[in-house]
């Protein structure tokens, strides 16, 4: 729960993208078995890239907001600043993790699809 809260505004879209990618993977497995999974396979990779970009943009937005607050502060606690900086990586890690899962699923399903297509010919 703390990980989700640390994601800020971008947490909800990343949670939705997590469900979308998981659903696409589950939907692509039977499609690959039938031999018509190419479209579903590339959709997994596309949404993985969208998640990675969204995670990066979430970090940029968080850092921008933090730096604007720091610029107006009269006293700065280095410990709190470093905790906030570390927390800003939450969305980047989440988006990158989704890209990693999507990329691995894409690779496995594509290989499986290519082998199935080769066996049919």
Among 92, 90, 12, 1, residue whose Cα is nearest residue 52: 92
Q: What pLDDT is attached to residue 3?
A: 66
pLDDT at 59: 92
Give the model's pLDDT for residue 69: 85
This prediction's pTM: 0.85
pLDDT < 70: residue spans in the chain = 1-4, 117-121
């Amino acid at each position: 729960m703390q990980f989700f809260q640390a994601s800020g505004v971008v947490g909800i879209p990343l949670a939705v993208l997590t469900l979308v990618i998981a659903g696409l993977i589950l939907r692509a497995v039977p499609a690959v078995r039938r031999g018509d999974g190419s479209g579903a396979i590339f959709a997994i990779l596309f949404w993985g890239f969208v998640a990675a970009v969204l995670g990066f943009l979430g970090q940029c937005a968080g850092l921008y907001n933090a730096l604007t607050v720091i610029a107006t502060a009269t006293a700065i606690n280095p410990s709190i600043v470093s905790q906030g900086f570390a927390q800003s990586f939450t969305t980047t890690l989440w988006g990158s993790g989704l890209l990693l899962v999507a990329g691995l699923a894409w690779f496995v399903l594509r290989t499986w699809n290519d082998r199935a297509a080769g066996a049919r010919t």
